[in-house]
Amino acid sequence: MSLIGKSPQRPDAFDKVTGGKAFPVNVKVPGMLHAKLLRSPYPHARILGIDTSAAEKLPGVKAVLVPSEVPKRKFTPVYFVPSDAGSMVQDMLIMSDTVRFAGQPVAAVAATSLRIAEQAIELI
């Protein structure tokens, strides 16, 4: 079954464009936390330390994580899917003290609102 030359329609498209169905970003659940990532501005660097003390003191911040607090499990991001899924190489850590590319996450914040999470990231 090929989609080339066809115009497939998403099953939920009509409901979404007419407001009948919520987008995931608009879903709110009790006790939900919002996450933001601090990303490295450097294409290659070694992290010697990250001061999260000010972010942790911000009311509404529930957790701040840095590379030393994150399990060292390797994975392959979905945007690196090869044509043969069986040959996928898991070669990236969720966070690492060695930065491999600009934009790599180096800290994460979970807070009671997106605004508070953004403020906490600015304090790191």
Domains of the chain by residue range: 32-123
Considering the domain delimited by 32-123, tell me its CATH architecture.
Answer: Alpha-Beta Complex (3.90)
Instruction: Let me know: does 73 contact 94? Beta carbons within 8 Å.
Output: yes
pLDDT at 81: 55
Q: What is the pLDDT of residue 108?
A: 98
Q: What is the dihedral of CA 51, 55, 57, 63, to 10 degrees?
A: -100
User: For the segment 77-112, what is each residue's pLDDT rounded down to a tens digit?
Assistant: 666 555 555 555 566 788 999 998 999 999 999 999
* Residue 114, pLDDT score: 95
Comparing 40 with 2, the larger pLDDT belongs to: 40
Digit-coded pLDDT (tens) for 27-84: 889 999 999 999 999 999 999 999 999 999 999 999 999 999 998 888 766 665 555 5
- Residue 3 pLDDT more than 80? no
Could you write out the three-class secondary structure of the chain?
Answer: CCCCCCCCCCCCHHHHHCCCCCCHHHCCCCCCCEEEEEECCCCCEECCCCCCHHHHHCCCEEEEECHHHCCCCEECCHHHCCCCHHHCCCCEECCCCEECCCCCEEEEEEECCHHHHHHHHHHC
